[in-house]
Chains A and B, each alone.
Chain A
Amino acid sequence: MIPFSILRADFRRLWAGAFILSILIMAATALNITVSLEERAMRLGSARAAEPFDLIVGAPGSETQLVLSSVFLQPALLPLLPAHYSQRLEQHPLVAWSAPLAFGDFYLEMPIIGTTGTLITQGGQRPLAAGHPFSAPFEAVVGFSTGLKVGETIKPLHGQFGQEGAHAHDKIIYTVVGMLPKQNNAWDKAILVPIETIWHVHDIEEDSRHDDDDPDIAVEDHPYQNLAHKTGVSAIVVKPKSVAGAYQLRTQFRSGNSIAVFPAEVLTRLYGLLGNVRHLLSVIAWGTQLLVGLCVILVAVVHVNQRKRQIAALRAFGAPRHALFIVVWFEFVTLVLAGIAAGMLLGYWAAQIISTQIAAQSGFALPVEMATEDWWNMLQWLVIATAASLAPAALIYRHSPAQALRD
């Protein structure tokens, strides 16, 4: 016995207030959903990006930086590991395949990475999207999203444009001979070239012949000083033959002169840190939602008090209290439901936009996926909002119709 005509009339008459309340609820819900989705996308995206990298060996230093630089291609100060480590790993009986990485040059903000054909085909397991792996100096294989095509040529820049010490290698021209398949990570915007060419370009081979210093370690004094005058690599990607082998390799290469890390392990530690940030963001988002909730209840109480006379008149005409209670409650629940539903859509949409933008900028895919946890969260909010809407509606039981009509 709910006269829906009243609901229709009320929403039509009070559309502006109802709209603003819904917008408030929608914004608070969207904020909550976006934080949750983006945090999960970050975890999923980084975990998926790290999947192809079972073990990474590098020079002693920050494990996190080693992973960030080699998995996510974040330019940073990395100490160099002598090149003979790469040869050792290639011949190691526990290793299926390994490939060195040398960072330093860029083309249009895209990193040029010195490596070997083994990384390109991942030990002969991965076909290319186009062309073939490099087989001669100054050939390049590009990531799927570089915008470069087979046959095109590029001139590398040492360092990134606008940075101190950055300069063009004018006489060097790489020709694109192949394209990697899409990987939805930072490597989609990478340009892979033979590591020997990188060394050659930076005169490393020549300098290293005359260098009698400590043969093991050379520390960079510039983010891209892979090109220090030593034969060195920034990192070595290792594919062990077995899980047990991976652990043995990690132990063996965690000596004083090198470190070996499982990216997944480092990421887990990073998630621990991010988890705290996520918790903080969640608290802020929930706090916002709570404030909006309180604001809605306040508005609801004021609104019911303002309608006291109207409600009293309906009582006088014989409308039962419970029916009026349901009408008022139903109106608020409808607003809250609409706000939450729209907020979920907006939050999901905002998370998609943010992920798309991050992916466009970094090539790092952030998969936005709703999880059961999100639905439970929303259900929880619905239950709380539905219960909270009872409070203003319950005022109907407290108002005396005679008193309200006299006022």
Chain B
Amino acid sequence: MPILELKDISVSYPNCDAPVLQLPRLQIGQGEAVAILGPSGSGKTTLVSIISGLEYPATGSVCWDGINLNTLPEAQKDQWRAENIGLVMQDFHLYPGLSAFENILLPARFRYWHLPRELKRKASDLLDRIDVHTGARPIEKLSRGEMQRVAVARALLMSPPVLIADEPTASLDVTNGEQVIELLLDLVKEQQMTLLAVTHDRRLAGRMTRCLTLENGRLIKDGVNETERDFT
């Protein structure tokens, strides 16, 4: 039973002649760990935007567990995203001036007038889990590795069924990159989540169950662990 189903997707931008993304059909099952590979400009980030409901395709449908995102009003889509998608990005997008703890709780603060105690406890547990003990220190004072671990913890706070990671190791050194990969995979496994990771990192792609390769906005390969050959 697929958790995500894309049909006849086509995305075009005003200045481009050809569609930047064209996917006749794509299905992803629950609990899958999928690497999305491809050179720059191949449509990976656009695919992430489409499946996370940040962008509308010109044609086609994006269905998550039977819900067609294209039919949801903007406010409901925000809510759906908050409840179902955990996002980890290359640039972390942590809020400067806030501590690691406050950053983990930030998306939840937009949803609750008064944060439930369980969420605070969970944020605290996640901090222990990612081994970041920086107290009230502002997030911008942390190392890049620590920052990306905090971003992973933030994505997991609401226990979303799906985690989407866009180049989670691209801006990290080897050691920090490996730490983040381990953390990401361990937590996804613990929480039985579906993981979609856009990556150029062979170490991460090699640990995924399935690899999708995009080129010029089209899916050219869909298979298991063929990373060595497909990376550019």
- Give the interface of A toward B (CB within 8 A): 1, 3, 5-6, 8-10, 12-13, 309-310, 313-324, 400-402, 405-406
Contact = CB atoms under 8 A, between A and B. Distances in A.
Nearest to B158: A318
B49 A319 contact: no
Contact of A320 (B52, B54, B78, B112): B78
Nearest to A322: B75
Contacts of A319: 78, 82, 107, 110
Nearest to A323: B110
Contacts, number: 86
B212 interface: no
Q: Which of A10, A320, A322 has the most CB of B within 10 A?
A: A320
A101 to B, nearest CB: 70
A319 B158 CA distance: 13
Nearest to A11: B97
Interface of B: 45-46, 49, 52, 54-55, 74-75, 78-79, 81-83, 85, 87, 89, 93, 95-98, 102, 106-107, 109-113, 154, 158
Contacts of B46: 402
- The secondary-structure label for the interface of chain A is helix
A316 B54 contact: yes
Contact of A1 (B95, B102, B109): B109
A5 B110 contact: no
20 contacts: A1-B110, A1-B112, A1-B113, A6-B95, A9-B98, A9-B102, A309-B93, A314-B95, A314-B106, A316-B81, A316-B93, A318-B79, A318-B81, A318-B110, A318-B158, A319-B78, A320-B75, A320-B78, A322-B75, A401-B54
- Candidate in A6, A400, A405 with the most chain B CB atoms within 10 angstroms: A405
Contacts of B52: 316
A323 B113 CA distance: 11
A13 B96 contact: yes
B154 A5 contact: no
B106 A3 contact: yes
Contacts of A322: 75
